[in-house]
Amino acid sequence: MTESSSQNTNVVAGELRAWNPKAVGEVIEFRGETTIVVPRELLLAAAQRCRDEAALQYNLLTDATCVDRFPQEPRFELNYHLVSIPRREKIRLKVRLSGDDAVVDSLVPLWPGANWLEREIFDLFGIRFSGHPDLRRILLPEDWEGYPLRRDYPVEGFRDIPSGGSLYRKSSP
Amino acid sequence: MTVVETAIGTAKTMVLNMGPQHPSTHGVLRILLELDGETVVKATPDLGYLHTGIEKSCEDKTYSQAITLTDRMDYLNPLGNNLVYCLAVEKLLGLEIPKRAQYIRVMLVELQRISSHLVWLGTHAIDLGAMSVFLYCFREREEILKIFELFSGQRMMTSYIRIGGLALEPPAGWRQAVERFLKMMPSRVDEYESLLTENRIWMGRTKDVGYISAEDAIALSMTGPTIRAAGIAYDNRKFFPYSSYEEFEFDIPTRTDSDCFARYMIRVAEMRESLKIVRQAMQKITDQGAIRTDAPGIVPPQREKMKTEMEALIYHFKIFTEGFSPAPGEAFVTVESPRGELGCFIASDGSPKPLRAHFRSPSYINLQALPKLVEGQLISDVIACIGTIDIVLGEVDR
C-alpha cells in the first residue's frame, strides 16, 4: 500500500511541479497517505489541475475540513480530500492560513459539492471563502457569536461560571 | 433561521415551510419550498436543529472515550461509525488487527447495513403510503438488533468495535443466532420485493422521480447508493478495501436510470449482497483466536493478566486515566456506510486527546443534492426524494 501510495505521490507532485514549480510547497507522507501542501494563491488552480489533468483525474471532492493549531502560526490548516474514481487513488491537498488573514479561494466553481463543506468550515472556524455563492452559517443559528471549533473556544462554551468572590461571573469571549 | 430569497416574483409563487417537525424528514430537517401551484420552483434545506457538537466534544475526550460519541451520530449505523473511528485511530497508531477480529467486524457491519436498509425501506414505504412493508421490515430488523444485543449487551449504541479490536469475545451461541437469521432473511427480501417492485402505485410514485445525472452526482460529491444508481460503481469496500474486504466475494449493484426507483432497487440488491458477505464471514471466523491486538499501553490487558502481572495492572491504569498518545500526524479513513462514504479525519498533536476529529458524513453531503433532485418536480415527489437520499439527521448535524 505504501509503495503504490508513494508512486502516486510522485505522479501528483510531478504533474503539479511541471505545471508550476511553486505549486508544491511540501510533500508529506504519513501512514501511506499523501499530503501536498499548496500555497494559498494557487489552491484553486492546483485543484483544477488535479481534476482535469488526464494523468490525475481527481474527479470527486470527498471532504474538506480544517484543523486549528492555535497558538501556532499559521494556525489554520485546510485539508481537501480528493478521490480519483477512474484511478482509484486518494490525495490530500493542504493549505495553511494565518489567523489574521483566514481567507482562501472557494472551490465551488470546480465542485458544487464544496458548497456545504465550505459553509460548515466557515460556520465552525470562521474561515472565509472568496467566491463562495452563499457563505452563511449552516449548523449554528445565524446570530451565534464566535466559532466553536477553534481551539481557543472552550468546550463547554462561554457562559456564566461560578468563581471566587462574586457568585457568578460572565466569562468574556 | 434562514431568510428565503424567491427565485421568481412573489405574486406567482408561494413559500411552504416543510419541517422541522415533519414525519417524512425522519428527524428535524426544515425545507423551504417555493411552489408554483404544485410544482417546486426552489428548495432550500435548513439544518442544524440537531447539532450537538460531537466533533468538539471529541477534542475533550481521550481517544478511547470518544468511541461512545461516534455511536450517536448515525444512529442507524453505530457499528459503522465505531469502525471508521477505530480504523482512523489504528491508522494513526500503525496497529495491525487480528484477522478474526476483522472478520467479526465485517460481519457485524454488514448486518448493520441490512438493518439500516430495512429501516430505510420501511419508513420510505410508509412515507409513500405502503403501510404493511414498514411492519415487516421492523420485524426483521428486530432480529438483527437481538444479534447485536447478544454480542454487546446493547441493541443500538453498541460501542462494540474498539481501538485495537473488539470489546468482548463473541458470546456462546452467536453462530446459531446468525445462522437462523441468514436462513430466514432471503425469503423475506423476496417478500418485500413482491409487495413493492412491480406494484403500480409504487412504480408511479418512484419511477422517473428525482433524476440526477452521473456528472452532477459526482460534482455534488454524492456517494453510496445514490451514485451507484447513476451508474458509477464507486464503493469503498472495493476501491479502498479496509478490514479485509478484499478477501470477500460480492458484487456492487449499479443501475443507470438514477431515479427513486433505481435507488430502491440498489438498496434491495445490497441487502442480498450483504447476506452473501455475512455468510462468507461466518466461515472465516474461527472459534479460537485473538479479538484484540497485542499492544500494551493502547489495548486494555486481559483481566487474568491484571491479577498476575504488575505491568498489565499499570497499563490498565494508565489507559483509563491518561490514555495513550499517537505520534503527531493525520489520518483519513473512509468506509462504505449504508448511506455512502463515511470518513473520519483525525489529527494528532502527540497528546492523549485528538487535536481534531472530523467526520465526513454521507447524509450531510448527499442532502446537498436535494434541491437538484426536487426542483421542477411535484410537491409529493419531495417526500420520495428525501426518502431515497436516505438521510439520518443525527449524522447530518453531528
Q: What is the ipTM of this complex?
A: 0.86
Whether B168 and chain A come into contact, CB under 8 Å, resolves to no
Q: pTM of the full predicted structure?
A: 0.89
The pLDDT-based confidence of B79 (bands split at 50, 70, 90) is very high
Question: pLDDT digit string (tens) for B105-130?
Answer: 999 999 999 999 999 999 999 888 88
Q: Does A31 touch chain B (CB under 8 A)?
A: yes
Contacts of residue A114 in chain B, CB cutoff 8 Å? 221
Peptide bond into A71 cis (omega under 30): yes
Instruction: Tell whether B27 is covered by a domain.
Output: no
> Between chains, do A112 and B234 touch, taking CB under 8 Å as contact?
no
Q: Please report the pLDDT score of residue B228 as a whole number.
A: 92
Count of domains in chain B? Answer: 1
Confidence check: pLDDT of B390 > 70: yes
Angle at A41 between CA A38 and CA A45, to 5 degrees: 75
- Any chain A CB within 8 A of the CB of B331? yes
For residue B255, pLDDT over 80 is answered with yes
- Specify the 3-state DSSP secondary structure of A133: coil
Domain-located, residue B41: no
Q: What confidence score (pLDDT) does residue A6 get? A: 62
Q: Does A129 touch chain B (CB under 8 A)?
A: no
For residue A168, the model assigns a pLDDT of 43
Query: Quick check: B336 pLDDT over 80?
Result: yes
pLDDT for res A119: 92
Does B206 contact chain A (CB < 8 Å)?
no
Mutate to test the interface with A, among B221, B254, B398 (most CBs of A within 10 A): B221
Is the pLDDT confidence value at A4 over 70?
no
Task: Measure CB to CB from residue A149 to each of B56, B330, B364 and give the nearest one.
Answer: B56
Per-residue pLDDT at A9 exceeds 90: no
Query: B331–A81: do the CB atoms touch at under 8 Å?
Result: no
For B175-220, the pLDDT digits (tens) are 999 999 999 999 999 989 998 888 888 988 898 888 899 999 999 9
pLDDT for the residue numbered A171: 46
pLDDT of residue B210: 87
Q: For residue B227, give the C-alpha cell.
A: 451514485
Structure confidence at residue A159 (pLDDT): 62
User: What is residue A163's predicted lDDT score, i.e. its pLDDT?
Assistant: 52
For residue B51, the chain A residues in CB contact (below 8 A) are 139-140
Which of the four pLDDT bands, split at 50, 70 and 90, describes residue A173? very low
Alpha-carbon distances, residue A145 vs A109, A141, A173, B46 (angstroms): 29, 9, 9, 19
Would you mind telling me the total number of residues written for chain B in this entry?
398
User: Which positions in chain B touch A61 (Cβ < 8 Å)?
Assistant: 221
| Nearest Cβ partner for B56 among A65, A141, A148 | A148
Is the pLDDT reported for residue A67 higher than 60?
A: yes
Mean pLDDT of chain B: 89
pLDDT confidence band for A167 (50 / 70 / 90): very low
- Spatial distance between the Cα atoms of A5 and A165, rounded to a whole number of angstroms: 59
* CATH 3.30.460.80 holds for A2-170: yes
The 10s digit of each residue's pLDDT in B5-42 is: 656 555 578 888 887 877 777 778 888 888 888 889 88
Q: What angle do CA A135, A140, A145 make, to 5 degrees?
A: 90
Q: Report in angstroms the alpha-carbon separations of B368 from A122, B223, B373, B374.
A: 16, 12, 10, 11
Nearest CB to B341 within list A33, A62, A111 = A62
Domain-located, residue B213? yes
CATH number (domain holding residue B159): 1.10.645.10
CA B73/CA B55 separation, integer angstroms: 10
Read off the pLDDT of each residue in B367-377 and give the average, rounded to a whole number. 89
Where is A49: in which H helix or E strand?
A: helix A43-52
The reply to whether residue B239 touches residue A138, judged by beta carbons under 8 angstroms, is no
CA–CA separation, B75 and A74 (whole Å) = 37
Model pLDDT, residue A7: 67
Of A136, A141, A155, the CB nearest to B57: A155
Residue B320 lies in a domain: yes
3-state secondary structure chain B: CCCCCCCCCCCCCEEEEECCCCHHHCCCCEEEEEEECCEEEEEEEECCCCCCCHHHHHCCCCCCCCHHHHHCCCCCCHHHHHHHHHHHHHHHHCCCCCHHHHHHHHHHHHHHHHHHHHHHHHHHHHHCCCHHHHHHHHHHHHHHHHHHHHHHCCCCCCCCEECCEECCCCCCCHHHHHHHHHHHHHHHHHHHHHHHCCCHHHHHHHCCCCCCCHHHHHHCCCCCHHHHCCCCCCCHHHHCCCCCHHHCCCCCCCCCCCCHHHHHHHHHHHHHHHHHHHHHHHHHCCCCCCCECCCCCCCCCCHHHHHHCHHHHHHHHHHHHCCCCCCCEEEEEEEEECCEEEEEEEEECCCCCCCEEEEECHHHHHHCCHHHHHCCCEHHHHHHHHHHHCCCHHHHHC
What percent of chain B shows pLDDT beyond 90?
46
Q: Which three cell numbers stand for residue B145?
A: 438488533
The answer to whether A106 and A129 have CB atoms below 8 angstroms apart is: yes
Q: Identify the domain containing residue B313 by its residue range.
A: 54-397
pLDDT at B303 over 80: yes
Q: What percent of chain A has pLDDT over 90?
A: 28
Look at residue B7 in the predicted model and tell me its pLDDT: 64
Q: Which residue of A has its CA nearest to B235?
A: A85
**Rounded average pLDDT over B247-263:** 91
Task: Nearest chain B residue to A62 by CA: give it.
Answer: B221
| Residue A144 φ/ψ, nearest 5 degrees | -65, 140
Does residue B49 lie within any of the structural domains? no
Asked whether residue B136 is assigned to any structural domain, the reply reads yes
